[in-house]
Amino acid sequence: MIEVEGVKIDTRHWIGGERVPSVRKFPDISPIDEAHLGDIDAGGAAEADRAVAAARATFPEWAGKTAAERGAILRRVADGIDERREDLARVETRDNGSLLRSHRRGVMPRVAMNFRFFADYAETLAHPDLEVRGHRERITYDPAGVTAIITPWNAPLMLATWRIGPALAAGNTVVLKPPEWAPLTASLLADIAHEAGLPAGVFNVVQGTGAEAGAPLTRHPGISRLSFTGSVPTAGVIAAAAAPNIVPLSFELGGKSPLLVFADCDLDLAVDLAVEQFDNAGQVCLGACRLLVQEGIAEEFTARVVERARALVQGDPRDEKTDVGALVSRQHFERVSGFVERALTGGAKALLGGGPNTGLGGLYYSPTILAGAEPGSEILTEEVFGPVLTIQTFKDEDQGVRMANDTRFGLAATLVTGDPERAERVSARLNAGTVWVNCFFVRDLGAPFGGSGKSGIGREGGTYSFDFYCDVKNTVFSPDGWRSHG
């Protein structure tokens, strides 16, 4: 047991409705000041086996409940999240360095919504019967089994519950492997779920590194579904591990999204959207880190974005005035620094930032805007995942679209224009799972979410989630043959 921001947190795994210790531990370090928050129990194959066994044992009971019965429990989980919203916000800010004000106002309310929305949706999930040659075809959504969920550190609780919510609402049981760089709110969620009356074994948490705790889950024969959010290389390893068991996968992977700014746009709006990309210190998979601006307004747009970004307040994310916090770990800090250093050596120019925030020290990297990078260079093609934006210019619509699509990723794209017809034309040509027109980060939970290209496999949200977390069954009834023999 440790105490973080006045909140007591059990550092053991949660398996089969009880706390389970491990001999081995791993340290949890806060990005804010690199303070040691505590030692967390580190799981491996034994803990993964135990968690999957617990989830499989309780699966028939949970799957046998009606959607309404499951929904009632999941809504109590959501209520518990709301009641502990401040605890969850403070702990996650300390653990992963994201802004406390964002956790309070947006992230933790969304965590609760992930349970309520899918609990409600499951109760209305239905497909109209089909008819062929007088035969009736009934389509149903059957629980699939045990779902393994492996989540990232940039929004650990929100991104975990975005998968846990529909998996449980569908009637599956869950084993969660939280990120080792930010594991604490997963432990609190286990407490909240238990207090809400979620049966033992329905939700399990196995902590540890990807290699030691995640890998045994990905290759486990007892898993029926696997959801992963993270990097492309790790996804390849997971896919290979899951392949022998023919486990369906849902992957949300990297991004290198464009913000495409046309000369006919509302320039104030375009500048606002560009500066918004520094949210969470740029550690956002959907972030539009490539600013592509039409030549006629490029000079003014660039000057205004640099001026606005320079005014951002960087510092302790627990301070309500802070706009940009720290990067999550020393390892990630060095990775981001390396990208920028290589870009500058290669001829790019830093219009803003370009290095660590020496006034703050630690893991604080200055908001950075780079121009003049060589087409095809690393800084324009690889995901940096930090507070680093690049600016490029284009002449006309065709060139702008080509540059926007010149990436192996396809998670999202943002388009800013004052011409509705251009908005229709360009959005149809952009290769992305989500396209925002004159807005950013707006999405109903019923809408499909996922990436094209190297940004992922599959879609989740609304019915799309249940298509994945369920076995969709077709039962065909003949109009004849109802008379029994004799």
Query: Do the domain assignments include residue 484?
Result: no
Backbone torsion region of residue 372, taken as left when φ is above 0, otherwise alpha when ψ lies between -120 and 50, otherwise beta: left
What band does 485 get if pLDDT is binned at 50, 70 and 90?
low
Cα separation of 202 and 61, whole Å? 9
pLDDT in tens, 148-201: 999 999 999 999 999 999 999 999 999 999 999 999 999 999 999 999 999 999
Among the listed residues 374, 371, 368, 160, the one whose alpha carbon sits nearest the alpha carbon of residue 277? 368
Whole-prediction pTM: 0.96
pLDDT value at residue 399 = 98
**pLDDT at position 166:** 98
Residues 241, 280, single domain; the answer is no
- Cα 452 to Cα 304: distance, rounded to the nearest angstrom: 32
Q: Tens of pLDDT along 100-111?
A: 999 999 999 999
Between the CA of residue 97 and those of 204, 209, 254, 331, 450, what are the distances in Å? 25, 19, 20, 14, 25
Residue 149 phi, psi (nearest 5): -125, 120
Q: What is the pLDDT of residues 405-449, one digit of tens each?
A: 999 999 999 999 999 999 999 999 999 999 999 999 999 999 999
In this structure, the answer to whether residues 23 and 127 fall within a common structural domain is yes
Integer Cα distance of 415 and 437 in angstroms: 5
Residue 134, C-beta contacts closer than 8 angstroms, at least 6 positions apart:
479
DSSP characters over 430-459: ---SEEEES--S---TTS-B--EETTEES-
| Model pLDDT for residues 368-403, shown as the tens digit of each residue | 999 999 999 999 999 999 999 999 999 999 999 999
479 part of a folded domain: no
**β-strands 434-437, 290-294 pairing:** unpaired
Between CA 338 and CA 13 the distance in angstroms is 35
Q: So what's the pLDDT on residue 483?
A: 73
- Residue 189 makes CB contacts below 8 A (sequence gap 6+) with 81, 157, 160, 161, 203, 205
Under DSSP, the state recorded for 324 is: B
Cα(183)–Cα(194) distance, integer angstroms: 18
Please report, for the domain that includes residue 397, its CATH number.
Answer: 3.40.309.10
Q: What is the model's pLDDT at position 486?
A: 57
Q: Whole-angstrom Cα distance, residue 18 to residue 14?
A: 6
How many Cβ atoms sit within 10 Å of the Cβ of residue 18? 12
Statement to judge: residues 460 and 416 lie in one domain: no
Gap between the Cα atoms of 391 and 371, Å rounded: 5
Instruction: Provide the 3-class DSSP secondary structure of residue 114.
Output: helix
Which sequence positions are flagged as catalytic? 252, 285
- State the DSSP string of 159-175: HHHHHHHHHHHTT-EEE
% of the chain exceeding 70 in pLDDT: 99
The Cα–Cα gap between 310 and 327 comes to 18
Task: Give the chain's domain count.
Answer: 2
Tell me what pLDDT residue 67 has.
97
Residue 134: Cβ within 10 Å count: 9
pLDDT of residue 480: 86
Structural domain contains residue 237 = yes
Mean pLDDT confidence for 10-24: 97
Asked, for residue 446, whether it belongs to a domain, the answer is no
User: What is the pLDDT, as a whole number, of residue 456?
Assistant: 95
User: Structural domain of residue 138, as residue ranges?
Assistant: 2-253+455-474
CA 411 to chain centre: 12
The dihedral built from the CA positions of residue 235, 240, 245 and 246, taken in this order, carries a sign that is positive
Q: How many C-beta atoms lie closer than 10 Å to residue 102's C-beta?
A: 18
CATH number (domain holding residue 238): 3.40.605.10
312 contacts 278 by C-beta, under 8 angstroms: yes
Domain membership flag for residue 486: no
28: β partners: 38
Q: Are residues 217 and 271 in the same domain?
A: no
Instruction: Indicate the helix (H) or strand (E) that contains 465.
Output: helix 462-469
| 411 and 464 both lie in a single domain | no
Reported as half-sphere exposure (CB side, CA atoms, 13 A), residue 22 has a value of 26
The single residue listed with the structure tokens 């205004």 is 304
What is the H or E stretch that residue 227 is in?
Answer: strand 225-229
- Same domain for 392 and 271, yes or no, is yes
Is 63 part of a structural domain of the chain? Answer: yes
CA–CA–CA angle 234, 236, 240 (5° rounding): 120
Is residue 483 a part of any domain in this protein? Answer: no
Both tokens assigned to 114: 């992930």
Dihedrals phi, psi of 459, to nearest 5 degrees: -135, 145
Residues 326 and 199 in one domain: no
Q: Please tell me whether residues 460 and 351 are part of one structural domain.
A: no
Q: Residues for the chain: how many in total?
A: 486
Same domain (yes/no): 99, 124: yes
| Within a domain: 447 | no
Q: Are 82 and 202 part of one and the same domain? A: yes
One domain for residues 216 and 275: no
Closest CA to 230 of 278, 179, 279, 281: 179
| Judgement on whether residues 125 and 154 belong to the same structural domain of the protein | yes
**3-state secondary structure labels for all residues of 337-406:** HHHHHHHHHCCCEEEECCCECCCCCCCCECCEEEECCCCCCHHHHCCCCCCEEEEEEECCHHHHHHHHCC
**Residue 482 has what pLDDT?**
76
357 and 312 in contact (C-beta within 8 Å)? no
pLDDT of residue 481: 75
Is the separation of the CB atoms in 22 and 102 below 8 Å? no
pLDDT at 8 over 90: yes
435 φ, ψ (degrees, to nearest 5): -120, 125
